[in-house]
Structure 1
């Protein structure tokens, strides 16, 4: 049996199609604000601008100093997303910024060849990241030709290059061409640039780093009014930071425009545990409509939206553990909930948010002479078998060559193995070659996806021959045949979305898109759909199906108990209508590009949490959150465990609690003196490196075959063991026995053996079997793993007591906390990474 694990956890999100995917140096391709800062974990040299905390308030040596009231500082740490009390926010006039003391003569290679206005843009970045003086400026141009969408087409785009030995890295910065304020730049991913890394314990804590973040704002964005800036911790992931690995902190600040909220107008930054700035990103665009352009009042907007607002019962996904979703029958607004343009009075909606209720839904009969889908009688053991299935249904042009075939965990369902294929256009050259992709379920032979990815848009007839244009009715017929042959029970689980004739739009290339919605018990399944795109010559060039498994929907209510109008009133009572700026566009559809624009709109927001989305339970009528707080979101929000305060290991236990390593029970206790099992110690160690595993029931990626017969998929230690096995934390004897016996009480000797695996000193342990420190112990004869015990003692991870080691003795959770903190403090002091 194959299991799937990976070194990173992914957040499921929709994102626009980029014309230049894969360019890691292209900063305009970063995801939306919540993830815009989430990938960088290393540090940079900026000690002259942001000093060591012992110097942070010394204005004679520090580049940036701060003066503020500590009460307001504490308020900022707990600032809610949209505070009703403006006095709760830190005032930027309390921030004192001084001139830099870095050597202004230090400039990057290529600087002298730039024009004065280009140099001015480079200087703006160097003010925040003086370490970039070590690099080379490759070019400075207005606008970017390497990304889509270019959200800053009139700004300076600076490309840097850093070379060390035979390797080089390139990365971008963007600077406003009018104000010469930095829009975005980062250095954290160029590890060779960094003179130091911050590990636990950090020199700068999160509170001190926040102070520096405010100072950076004052220096980097002087054009923004001080009263328009609000610190907003809700815009940053609340996952706990790993205890192991470089320490860094993320901060987000909302920036009002013309006194109004602008969800996309954020400034985010990352600062490491040494107080060094790693990344700075400023969202939003410059063309904000004037408030004077508002053509309708709030009252008119409310009446217009609510009068056309309708609610429909659907089976909706509720975020659960990891990437798992539960489903519930609930009412959601399907008309009247989208933002209303305050200038034009038009309701806005994104193409992927188009609602089923606005279109006619049609059932369809099995097409004649088309065989329904039949699952493969046995798993597809090789790629050729999967390829044969694809070739029976689709045609890849001859000038596309198969360049990849691989068996992987499915990105959309990590429990499912899929055969993945890529074909590239051999008639093209350069970095961005058109390609076909396909995914086939390895267990059933079901094609999950087939389609063309073309960077210049969807293709026309490639043969150049005149063809008869496909009618919409014929396209629907071909699409029905396709889903019937590729999806199980398609005629019962799908309905054809049949738009009015005026809405039957072709793409700019004449392609027709036919959409299907998944239904269950006569209700739509939110997120369940299929799409077929057909060329004018009748060739199918895109097929995708995202069908929710029937077992996810079994046992749910078959009928709503609450009326739609009652659901509407409950929903409206929890909402308020706000005038604000939003960003629209920046994506491609089959009809062409939708340019980026900022619009002034009226939009419904939840009163208690504007970032939350609410539905109405169709059975009880109660409002509930689509994104309930999971354990990872609660880790740092509660008070510390009640039985930790005053404990001898309080400091260590609180550190582990803060970093998501230990949790509390229903009585809010952590049980620090409880004896530790082998599985619990393994779990604590693993969470120290990967705290997100605590709530990740699905970790996509690598295939791992676990050799242990007593670790089933439903075990609470399943992913813990998988991660530890992947990094070789188990010895060969454990693998041979095929049992880990995770529930057994952990002994001190077993802890030493596991710790040696974590620090990768296996060979050294063999060499230290006759270590004098161990041989001098009164109970050395009872110790089998003398080398491992010697290393644990020498590293200060374990200690002897009254001249004895007590190898069979047990450990408590508090003991484990001390060990893990001692291990964390070794980071940066060993010749290899710990882990």
Structure 2
């Protein structure tokens, strides 16, 4: 039992706070934001006119109930049969609306129903396909402190295997259209985990995700997620994909032939790109890479016909050719400009009237650049929008221009026939002006073709090209109307420096890069709905549900999750264009853990995202844990559904900057005073975690530091053979009394290094005693005290 503390227990958070901060199941709760009570209706079916005040959204177009196979009464019977929590109670609300079971899927009519079960402190929400009778979504919402909901704490009443069997049985009963398919347990993706995976220290739940299989093939992008409490009661469900039935039983094209078709259909092109472009922190990491000039959508497994994407990745750059810009008689001159000079320079090409009234809306000065944001009003059309001009006053460079009037022209202006301008004429006007107002325009940019020959408004693209290689993310766009006047200017950032690009020397050519991509990729057959749309151009009527057999590109090592699409031309490394960590949560336990003595604890942390596999699919239970890894595990276990904490951007330790991989985890701990920040000392987050350090941190986390000071001479510590080596004997006593850590053969081993399995055992035990602590560890959202229970 936990050690009694002097402080009293915290009050339970009110139900209203729960409703305020709870994250709903994505699609279902959009329709049921609030369940409105209607005493005059009672617990029967909605009366006429009920939709005017219901919590269901009836404002948008609704399906015709007479046109769907599943009637309202039938939907209610199906819900009662599939959902034990409903019992024999009719819904307090029910309505026929449109639902969508996944991206690029058609809207389907669905009955959406809600039950007021306030005698049990819950509201039940369900969504049933009105064409098949399939349960599409379900959730139980508990109106109180979620930690107090029955069967929502560790230890579990049933094993994970029994919970999985219960989840499979629920799917078979609730989704009639998939009864002939096999169920395959899958991991949760990053996006799915936020709706279905609960934190270790939150309401205890089992979460399972299943895919469908038929004839030995998996149905791509079809998912059934089931969430159960610790007694096996279903608390949430979602069916995504709505697949239909397989058209073919066996692929006519073999995988080797599909790979040959794919490999012959693309080439690698060199490209400069910023690997840090997605971080939005101002940092840059320029690389010279080879990228695929187009990306495979799919290959028909029956005919071998490939479908390629010309818009994904950098296909748009590959599809262009780049022409040199002819020299002009003007060039950019670095100079300070006044407000009036900036307006006059823009007026030589922009489309605003000469009597436009300009004013400074914003001004920023960082010591190097002085940026003016100007707004212009046409005195004859003061309600007709405005012009926007941004300029660097210290260099004279034009940074942006936009005519926001053109979107709200007067009717007579819009009805008049606009003049036409040819590309050649537009180029002459644009390039002369750009050469004068954009630094290094003539030397660094090329014109991107093809382009339309003539139009009432043309947008010209100028791509930065270095030594014949395009630079990603560095394109300038200028739009001219039929009179040759600029309506929009979107310049490119000036970085990177020429010296930065010159330093990137390739060590392999395009063919060598392609060989590496081919070696790291394989083609796998999947069933995809409706001819694979959007993975193919061959689109059929989306109302015709069917599964077609198609090959998709996959990584040769499936634990890498996605097929590679780039090769670093300098290092030769093969990877993905996407930046950031890619991971999955839960699923079948990795092979290296299935017979481990700590299997139960490892599975619990693996299912909740505290432990992730490596690139080979291993959990490495006996690997040493670093200090930073432990902080991250605790952070993930405490924060609602794995949501990362967005901390303050300031140094807490000398070796921990804002870009450190464990920065947010460390800030989370420091702001709760579980770590004592000191910018003059190093935290050494990458060092191995010792048993004594884990004991100290666990003692701080549960708030037992005061009691620990009274236990320094506790016999449970003093009788240890290595008691003299323990610096914080009180912390060691606390964790042993609570069962969070155990001695081995009479030794505490304070300097011993903690393994992933040992940490898992300690954290699972901590979850089991959480309800007996003075303050539960779990927080909703980002860890602010007002969000905590």
| TM-score scaled by length of structure 2 | 0.58
305, 309, 313: which is aligned to 1:349?
309
- Answer whether contact 1:310 1:568 (CA < 8 A) is retained: no
CA deviation string 1:392-438 (max 9, x = no partner): 3788999xxxxxxxxxxxxxxxxxxxxxxxxxx999xxxxxxxx999
Q: Report the alpha carbon displacement of residue 385 of structure 1 after superposing the two structures with TM.
A: 2.5
1:455-534 aligned within 5 A: 460-461=407-408, 464=411, 466=413, 468=418, 471=421, 473=423, 496-501=447-452, 519=465, 521-524=467-470, 528=473, 530=475
Q: What secondary structure sits across from 1:690 in the alignment?
A: helix
Instruction: Tell whether the 8 Å contact from 1:188 to 1:279 is kept in structure 2 after alignment.
Output: no
Q: Deviation digits for residues 145-175 of structure 1, max 9, x if unmatched?
A: x99989453412526487989xx99997542
Residue 654 of structure 2, aligned match among 705, 709, 712: 709
SS of the residue corresponding to residue 824 of structure 1 reads helix
Distance in 2 between residues matched to 1:150 and 1:190, nearest whole Å: 35
Q: Is the partner of 2:112 in helix, strand or coil?
A: strand
Q: CA 1:749–1:480 in structure 2 vs 1: closer, same or farther (change >3 Å)?
A: farther
1:684 maps to which of 618, 630, 655: 630
Distance in 2, Cα, partners of 1:712 & 1:632: 24
Question: Considering only aligned residues, what root-mean-square deviation do their CA atoms show, in Å?
Answer: 7.2
Question: Would the alpha carbon gap of residues 369 and 447 (structure 1) be closer, same or farther in structure 2, given more than 3 Å must change?
Answer: closer
Instruction: Report the structure number with the largest CA radius of gyration.
Output: 2
| Distance in 1 of aligned mates of 2:323 and 2:694 | 63
**C-alpha distance in structure 2 between counterparts of 1:617 and 1:212, whole Å:** 45
- Alignment partner, residue 129 of structure 2: 176
SS of the counterpart of 1:211?
A: helix
For residues 116-171 of structure 1, the C-alpha deviation after alignment (integer angstroms, 9 at most, x for no partner) is 93343355445555546899755513326x99989453412526487989xx9999
SS in 2 for 1:330: strand
Partner of 1:358: 319
Task: Note if 1:141 corresponds to 2:96.
Answer: yes
SS in 1 for 2:71: helix
Alignment-derived partner of residue 723 in structure 1: 668
Structure 1 residues 275, 344: CA separation in 2 closer, same or farther (over 3 Å shift)?
A: same
Task: Give distance in 2, aligned partners of 1:333 and 1:286.
Answer: 32
* Matches of 1:729 and 1:797, distance apart in 2: 17
Residue equivalent to 1:280: 237
Q: How does 1:722-761 map to 2 (within 5 A)?
A: 722-731=667-676, 735=678, 740=683, 753-760=696-703
Matching residue of 2:13: none
Q: Return the alpha-carbon distance in structure 2 between the equivalents of residues 154 and 793 of structure 1.
A: 57
Distance, in Å, in 2 between the alignment partners of 1:189 and 1:544 is 53
Residues 481 and 722 (structure 1), Cα distance of their counterparts in 2 relative to 1, 3 Å cut: farther
Kindly indicate whether the alpha-carbon contact (under 8 Å) linking 2:736 and 2:742 is maintained by their aligned counterparts in 1: yes
Does residue 163 of structure 2 align to residue 209 of structure 1? Answer: yes
Question: How far did residue 27 of structure 1 move?
Answer: 0.9
Residue 314 in structure 1 maps to residue 270 in structure 2: yes
> How far off its partner does 1:605 sit?
3.6
What's the CA shift for 1:219?
A: 0.6
Aligned counterparts of 1:707 and 1:485: Cα–Cα separation in 2: 47
What is the Cα deviation at residue 207 of structure 1?
3.5
Task: Summarize deviations over 1:278-333 as a string: whole Å, max 9, x none.
Answer: 433333357889779x9x9999x98997798341323498999x989995633525
Query: Does the 8 Å CA contact 2:740/2:765 hold for their aligned counterparts?
Result: yes
Counterpart in the other structure of 2:289: 329
**What is the aligned residue count?**
651
**CA–CA distance in structure 1, aligned partners of residues 590 and 604 of structure 2:** 14
SS at match of 1:282: strand
CA contact (8 A) 1:529 1:546 kept: yes
Counterpart-to-counterpart distance in 2, 1:535 and 1:830 = 68
**Which is further off, 210-219 or 123-132?**
123-132
Alignment map for 1:141-540 (pairs within 5 Å):
141-143=96-98, 151-158=105-112, 160=114, 173-187=126-140, 195-196=149-150, 198-224=152-178, 226=180, 228-231=181-184, 233=186, 236=189, 243-255=200-212, 262-284=219-241, 309-315=265-271, 329-330=289-290, 332-334=292-294, 347=307, 349=309, 351-352=311-312, 354-362=315-323, 364=325, 385=364, 392=373, 460-461=407-408, 464=411, 466=413, 468=418, 471=421, 473=423, 496-501=447-452, 519=465, 521-524=467-470, 528=473, 530=475
SS, match of residue 168 in structure 2: helix
Is contact 1:204–1:275 with CA below 8 Å preserved after alignment? yes
Describe the superposition over 1:342-363 as per-residue Cα deviations: whole angstroms up to 9, x where unpaired.
9998956374454433333345
- In the aligned structure 1, how far is the partner of 2:390 from the partner of 2:155? 45
SS of residue paired to 1:827: helix
The secondary structure found in structure 2 opposite 1:501 is coil
Unaligned runs of 5+ in 2: 1-22, 31-40, 49-64, 337-360, 536-540, 779-789
8 A Cα contact 2:446 2:462, kept in partner: yes
Deviations 1:497-520 (CA, angstroms, capped at 9, x unpaired): 423438x9x9xxx98766666655
Q: Is the 8 A contact 1:612 1:625 kept in 2?
A: no
Post-superposition CA distance 1:777-832 (Å, at most 9, x none): 87999999898777656644467999x999x9545426766544432322233343
SS of corresponding position for 1:826: helix
